[in-house]
Amino acid sequence: MPSNEKPPAPSRRGMLAGMGTMAAAQALLQDTLGAQTNPAANVADRASALRITKLTAVPADPKCIVKLETNQGITGWGEISNIIPDVAQALANRIFELLDGQNPTRIEHLWQLMYRAHRNLRGGPFMVHTISGIDMALWDIAGKVWNTPVYRLLGGPTRDRIRVYHTDKARKIGTGGPHPFSGTPSEVQALVDRVKATREKMGKDAAIMFDAHCSMPPPLLIQFANAIESYDVLWIEEAAVYGNIEIFKRLKQQIRVPLATGEKDRTIWGVIPYLTENAIDILQPDCGFVGGITQMKKIAALAETFYVPLAPHCTMTTLGMTASLHVAASIPLFLIHEGYPPDDRLPGLAKRTWTLDRDGYVSLPEGPGLGVEVDERQLAELSKTRKFEWPKHIAPDGSVFDY
């Protein structure tokens, strides 16, 4: 070729052939590096061989404790809360038919599989509470597989410690029992005095919450709420029975004290009306009720879009409370977490890896998974007692109260 002539431009076919050669070379290079230097491949390989082999559900009134076992000796623990323990055991055993042989690290897939398995059972408290306990156990396994706390799998901690109640810095008080539709002045004043006495005892540096517990009908609640404004209550909880958003909207229009609810609402579909209708100020999902860690994390994201903080409801044991704390550790809009240390629900069931400080905060859970060590011998002892009884709340005129 003469020196003053340019080389011919490469053809399209030639360019593609060259690119193919380069791709092949890169693939060969990756093969040469080997699986040992490919973290993604290592994670996939390790998890793909993991399989669920056994589920054990142990009724221990008032809870049912779930143990999931795998073919690699990794176990996970969860707590089914606030349904009849014997029924929870039977339902968990049947749900295991969907989980047997599955990879436990496919948590979202397994949640959908359980929730959507039967069109006539989805969404109810028995099904969702049972799924919640199993979901906790799946996350426990996942954290142990990768040797990290669950909150790191949820995106990492957004705080260094978690504010809780009941402590010397924060306390919730109740109604003292069910109440009639419209109170007399003395009945209203008696409720106001409960708030006043607590404020005087705890001082201005403490948070006070009032739990209406669905047992104060709207007319009475409006009378009461307008009389306690000066005591700076952090919230009024469960202002009405869940399921009727119109009642919450009406109360929100007439009450200036912040309203909180959500403990009895399940999944993202149960809580969304409160947010879209601007009916509450604080959302209170319960990890044992809403569908476990998987749903609670999604609910937090929904609430964040409406700038509504979470104040998780929790009446579970150390096991269930720790699962909930992992979510609280990982979300941006968080207010305070319910808890009753030391654990008085199933004493001795589990050892916690978090501590409560004098300021009313607990430390983040430590260790892989949930970071809870269950005492199986103590669980066996606790399971020997059956204590479930149907609550009975009858008004003086013989009618049935909400409570």
Catalytic residues: 213, 313
Query: Rounded distance, CA 237 to CA 248, Å?
Result: 11
Cα distance between residue 181 and residue 219, in whole Å = 6
- Show the DSSP H helices in 203-317 as ranges: 218-225, 245-254, 267-276, 292-305
Rounded to whole angstroms, how far apart are CA atoms 294 and 298?
A: 7
- Comparing CA positions, the residue from 226, 192, 221 lying closest to residue 208 is 192
CB 120 within 8 A of CB 162: no
Spatial distance between the Cα atoms of 336 and 309, rounded to a whole number of angstroms: 9
Enumerate residues 6+ apart whose C-beta is below 8 A from 55. 66, 67, 68, 69, 92, 93, 95, 96, 99, 134
Joined tokens for residue 50: 């993991």
Amino acid making up residue 211: D
